Amino acid sequence: MYKKISNNEKITRKISEVHSADNYLTKETTENVSLAVTKLSGKLNSSKVSNERVYYFISADVNFIINNEKIHCNSGDVLYLDRDTTYSAEGDFEAVTINVPALGVDINGKWKVSTCKF
């Protein structure tokens, strides 16, 4: 199986006033992995990852707080977050964001976690 996802097929989701996601690969295609281009411009309040997540920063000047440790990320950096990691962030970034298992967007634009088992 394969699927090409064009830019005009993405689902854009406004997470907050400062955080958005262009969702390309969601659980509707595969429950194993999802891919989005996420953007932050400001402060992201504390959030808990319900899956494994990888950020590849296309452009970034952002500080993450993970386990009370400040992690600075720049363009070209990669950040891995294990399942159940709590974090916050402040700054600016545009990142390719990969989630395992896949996250999905329902028809109402709300985010859902896949129940895929490995």
Spans of all domains in the chain: 12-102
Q: Tokens at residue 50, please? A: 């319900």
Q: Is 7 helix (H, G, I), strand (E, B) or coil?
A: helix
Across 59-88, average pLDDT = 97
pLDDT in tens, 19-72: 999 999 998 889 999 999 999 999 999 999 989 999 999 999 999 999 999 999
Q: Tokens at residue 82, please? A: 């294990």
CATH number 2.60.120.10 is the correct assignment for the domain at 12-102 = yes
Q: Tokens at residue 8, please? A: 């005009």
pLDDT for 113: 46
Number of neighbouring beta carbons within 10 Å of residue 49: 14
pLDDT for 104: 67
% of the chain with per-residue pLDDT over 90:
79
115: pLDDT strictly greater than 50: no
d(C-alpha 103, C-alpha 77), whole Å: 23
